[in-house]
Amino acid sequence: MSGTSDGLVEEIRRVAKLAMLELNEDEIKHIGTQFKNILDQLQTLSELDTKDINPFSLEDMEPMPWRKDEVVAWNRYSEVLSQAPVSEEGYFKVPRIVEGDHDEK
Amino acid sequence: MKNSEFLKLSALELVEGYKKGDFTVSDVIETALEHIEVNERNLNALITPLYEEARSRSWMLDAALARGEELGSLFGVPVVVKDNITVDGVRTTCGSRMLENWISPYSAHVVECLERAGAVIIGKANMDEFAMGSSTEFSAFGPALNPWDLSRVPGGSSGGSAASVVAGYAPIALGSDTGGSIRQPAAFCGVYGLKPTYGLVSRFGLIAFASSLDQIGPFARSLKDVAAILQVISEPDARDATCARKERPNYAEFLNVTSLEGFKVGYLAGYESLEIDDEIKRAISQTIEICKEAGAEIVEVDLPISTRYGLPCYYTIAPAEASSNLARFDGVQYGFSVAADDLKELYLKSRGSGFGPEVKRRILIGTFVLGSSRYDAYYLQAQKVRQLIIREFNAAFSKADVLLTPATPTLPFKRGEKLTDPVKAYMADLFTIPVNLAGLPALSMRASMSQSGLPVGVQLIGKKFGEGDILKAASVIEQVVGPAATALGGDRK
C-alpha cells in the first residue's frame, strides 16, 4: 500500500467499488486514517515464520457428516416475494441489464 | 411470593414453581413484560419486544399445564433471543437498517428447540450491527446500556442479550459469538456466557457473519441454567453441515462436584505483567486459589502467539468471510433498497445507505485482504497463523484440562469511549478471539465485583467438546462466589 494519503484514498475508492459500497467523500476521508492503522496491525502477521504450514489443514476438524439430498416441500413463496423491493408475476424485478428491444413476445 | 420476585428466579426455579402450582406462566410472563416496558425506556436492550406473542403463548402453556400435559425442560421460561437469530413471523433486523423491516419466514434450529422445550420468547435483543462491535453502540436502533451503570456499555455484540439477563427481563438468553460477542458482554454485565465448541450448536437460522468462527450460545445467571439451555439447543441438526452428530453428554451431571482432585487448571504465564485492569488480575489470582483449595493441580501455560497475533489474525479472517457473507444484501430480494435505473447503481446505493460505519469498514478490509495481489500476504498468512494458534492450544491442553484467563482486559468502559479508534476498540476481544480461531468452547463468568460496583469477569477455556470440564471447574467457583446477581433498576446507579 502506498504511504501517501492520496494513494490510500484511491485504494479505498477501488476497494469500495469492488465491494459494491457507495461511500461519500466524508466517509472515505474518515475510513482512510483508520484503514491505515488497521492494515498496519494486520501486517504484523508477517513477523511469524509459517513455512511448511498447511493453511487449510483439517486434521483438527470433526469430519462433516453426509446427509441425503431430499426435496422438502415449502410453500411460503408469496411471503418471501412480498418482501422483495420490487417483484412482478412471481419474480424479483431488477433494472434491465441487457440492451436492446426484448418486449416482443 | 411478590410478583417482582419472579424476575430473580432462575429458569429451573420457574419450572419447579409451575409444577408445584406456586404461580402460573401468565403470572410470570405478565410480570416480565411490565418490567420490560418500564426498563426499556432506559436500557434499550431489546429491538423488538414480543408483548402479544409472549402473552398468548403463556395462556396456551397454562392451558397445557391445567390439562396435566408433560412439561418440557424449559416450560414457561421467558427467553430473550439475539436479533440475528430468526423467529418465524417476527422481524430479524441484525441491528441494521438493511433488515429493519424483514420478517423471517422460518425459525432458527435453536428457536425450534427452545419452543419444543416450552420456552416463551419475549423479545429480540439489541446488538451491534451484524454482530460487528464490542459495545452495542453500532446498533442502528441506538445503543443498549449496562444495567449496573447506565453511563457504561453492556459490551457487545450480544450486549442486549446480556443486559436483558442481568436486568431480570428473562433468566436466560441466546447470543452469538464470532470473536467474543457472548463472553465479553457476559463479563461486562456479570452473568454467565458460554461459547460452545465450533460444531456443537446448529447455526441454521443464524444470519452469518464469519462462518468458520460463528457459534450460538446461552446467557444465564446460574450454571444449572447454562447446562439446561445448552442441553436443549445443542440437539444435532443436519441443516448446518458443521453441526456434529455425536451424542451430547448430560451437562447437568458435571455440576455435581465439590472437588477438583485430579483435575488440572492452567493459567496464563505472566498475566500479572499484562496491560489489564488490576481488579481483573486480582480476580484471576483469587480464582486460581479457589481451584487450588478444591484440590486442582495448577499449571502455568504459555500462549504467546495467540496473545500477540490473535487479533490481527482474526481481523483478517473475520472481515474476509464477512465481505463474502454480506454480499447477499444487495437490495434485490429483501431488505433495504434504493431504487435506481441501473442494476449496479442499485447495488452501490442500497449497500452504501443500508450498512452502518463498522460494517462498511469490515467489508472494505475483507475485500482488501482477499484481493488477488494481497491474498498471499494477508489472507493466506492469517490462515497459517490460525494453524499456529490451534497448535499452541493443543500444547496447552496436553498440560491442563481447562485454561483460566481474563475475559476482557478492562472493566465495562464508558459509552462513546472507544467509538473513534477501531484498533483500540478491537482490544476488548484480546482474550476471547483466539478461542474462536481454535474452535474451542469457553465460558465467561463473574468472579467478583469491583470497588466501583462493576462486575469482574474471568474466562474458562476447554478442549474441543470439553463443555463438561468447563462446567465442572465453574461449578466449584460458583459454590464460592455465588451465582450471578440481578440489577433490576432500583439497585442501579
Domain total for chain A? 1
Give the per-residue pLDDT at B428: 87
- The position carrying cell 463473574 is B446
Look up the ipTM and state it: 0.91
Q: CATH code at A38?
A: 1.10.20
Query: Between A23, A44, A97, which is nearest B312 by CB?
Result: A44
Q: What is the pLDDT of residue A103?
A: 55
Tell me the per-residue pLDDT of B181-191, one tens digit each, with 9 for 90 and over. Answer: 999 999 999 99
Q: Does position B295 have pLDDT exceeding 50, yes or no?
A: yes
The pLDDT value recorded for residue B418 is 82
Q: Please answer whether residues B370 and B320 qualify as being in contact, where contact means their C-beta atoms are separated by less than 8 angstroms.
A: yes
Q: How far is B483 from chain A (nearest CA, A)?
A: 34
Question: Which pLDDT does position A60 carry in this prediction?
Answer: 74
Kindly state whether residue A94 falls inside one of the protein's structural domains.
Answer: no
pLDDT (tens digit per residue) in B386-397: 999 999 999 999
Q: Region B141-166: what's the mean pLDDT? A: 98
Torsion of CA B51, B54, B59, B64, to 10 degrees: 180
B358 contact residues in A (CB cutoff 8 A): none
Q: How confident is the model at residue B490 (pLDDT cuts 50, 70, 90)?
A: low
**pLDDT beyond 90 at B261:** yes
Residue B419: is its pLDDT beyond 90?
A: no
Asked whether residue B215 is assigned to any structural domain, the reply reads yes
The alpha carbon of residue B241 and the mean position of all alpha carbons in its chain are separated, in whole angstroms, by 22
Instruction: Decide if B337 and A53 are in contact by the 8 Å CB cutoff.
Output: no
- DSSP-derived letter for residue B146 is B
What confidence tier does B212 reach under pLDDT thresholds 50, 70, 90? very high
| Cell of residue B107, nine digits | 425459525
Residue A23 lies in a domain: yes
With a cut of 60, say whether residue B374 has pLDDT above it. yes
Residue B211 lies inside a defined structural domain of this protein: yes
Q: Taking 90 as the threshold, does the pLDDT of residue B422 lie above it?
A: no
Using a CB-CB cut-off of 8 Å, the residues of chain A touching B383 are 55-56
CA dist B464 and B473 (Å) reads 16
Q: For each of chain A's 105 residues, which pLDDT tens digit applies?
A: 444 477 889 999 999 999 999 999 999 988 888 888 999 999 999 999 999 999 988 777 777 778 888 998 999 999 999 999 999 999 999 998 887 765 544
pLDDT at B52 over 80: yes
Q: Which residues of B are catalytic?
A: 82, 157, 181
In a domain, B363, yes or no: no
Range B132-137 average pLDDT: 96
End-to-end CA distance of chain A: 53
Q: Are B118 and B232 in contact (CB under 8 A)?
A: no
Residues of A in contact with B109 (CB under 8 A): none
| Strand ranges (E), B270-407 | 297-301, 402-406
Percentage above 90 pLDDT, chain B: 94
pLDDT in tens, B2-49: 889 999 999 999 999 999 999 999 999 999 999 999 999 999 999 999
Confidence check: pLDDT of B142 > 70: yes
Which pLDDT score, from 0 to 100, does residue A41 have?
94
* CB contact (8 A) between residue A97 and residue B383: no
CB atoms B344 and A20 under 8 Å:
yes
The single-letter code of the amino acid at B263 is F
> Measured between CB atoms, which of B105, B346, B365 is closest to A80?
B105
Asked whether residue A71 is assigned to any structural domain, the reply reads: no
pLDDT digit string, tens, across residues B424-462: 888 889 999 999 999 999 999 999 999 999 999 999 999
Whole-angstrom distance, CA of residue B214 vs CA of residue B170: 24
Rounded mean pLDDT of chain B? Answer: 96
Nearest CA in chain B to A97: B343
Suggest the residue from A37, A45, A54 to mutate for an interface test with chain B (most B CBs closer than 10 A).
Answer: A45
Sign of CA dihedral B1, B6, B10, B15: positive
Residue B278 falls inside a structural domain: yes
Average pLDDT over residues B91-119: 98
A22: in domain = yes
Q: What is the rounded CA–CA span in Å between residue A5 and residue B91?
A: 42
The stretch B337-351 carries a mean pLDDT of 96
In angstroms, the CA B316 to CA B382 distance is: 6
Closest-CA residue to B252 (of B455, B10, B481, B61): B10
Domain range for B145 is 3-302+395-481
Flag whether A92 is in a domain: no
B261 residue type, one letter: E
Question: Closest chain A residue to B325 measured between Cα atoms?
Answer: A19
- Nearest Cα neighbor of B221 from B78, B123, B45, B49 is B78
pTM: 0.96
Q: How many domains does chain B fold into? A: 1
pLDDT at B1: 80
Residue A38 domain-assigned?
A: yes
Task: Please tell me if residue B376 touches chain A, with a CB cutoff of 8 Å.
Answer: no
For the ranges B104-108, B269-273, B423-427, the lowest mean pLDDT is seen at B423-427
Residue B232's CATH number: 3.90.1300.10
Does residue B89 sit at the A interface (CB-CB below 8 Å)? no
Q: How many CB pairs under 8 A join A and B?
A: 155
Asked if residue B56 has a cis previous peptide bond (ω within 30° of 0), the answer is no
The parent domain of residue A15 ranges over 5-46
| Grid cell digits, residue B282 | 486480582
pLDDT of residue A1: 43
DSSP character string of B152-173: B---SSSHHHHHHHHTTS-SEE
* B199 contacts in chain A (CB < 8 Å): 62
